[in-house]
Amino acid sequence: MKIRQDSVLGLFFAITGCIALLIALKYPFGTASRMGPGFFPVVISTLLVATGIGILIRSISASCDPFPAITWKALVMIPAAIIVFCVAIEPLGFLPAVLLLLVLSAATSVKFRLDWKTSAGALLFAGLCTVLFVELIGLPMPVLGIWLQ
């Protein structure tokens, strides 16, 4: 029997949830009206265990494909995009750094094409992120960095 991708994912979720649950049980739980510091972690880790078990059951009962081939481009480009975001946020600012992150992450897909729809969507999403994080939440980051001012 070949190991299926869903089986590994379900097992990962269940094990991670069990470990988190064991750690969370050391904190006071509290009640629903007066939650303790362990309430939220216990609930979330229990849901993670339940999700993992559900995925395992589904993968055993269904005929799933075995592991697909590893896409090395995505495996390298996604962490690289995050590093570029971290390096670019100070000199370029939040908006251009988010744009770079989006374009580099999306470029890992074989279906990615840089056209006006993609550019407009990335610009709209970066603008929404800027409004949300910089303006509404008040993250102390410049919208445009020192290189663009």
Per-domain residue ranges of the chain? 5-61, 72-136
Give the integer Cα–Cα distance in Å for 12 and 37.
Answer: 25
User: Where does the chain have alpha helices with state H?
Assistant: 5-24, 39-61, 72-92, 94-106, 116-130
25: DSSP letter: T
User: What percent of the chain lies above the pLDDT cut of 90?
Assistant: 40
**Two tokens, residue 26:** 């050391």
Asked whether residue 9 carries a pLDDT value surpassing 90, the answer given is no
User: Comparing 1-10, 26-35, 140-149, which segment has the lowest mean pLDDT?
Assistant: 1-10
Tell me the pTM. Answer: 0.57
Q: What are phi and psi of 17, to 5 degrees?
A: -65, -40
Considering only CA atoms, which of 103, 112, 98 is closest in space to residue 144? 98
Mean pLDDT for the stretch of residues 120-130? 92
Asked whether residue 1 carries a pLDDT value surpassing 50, the answer given is no
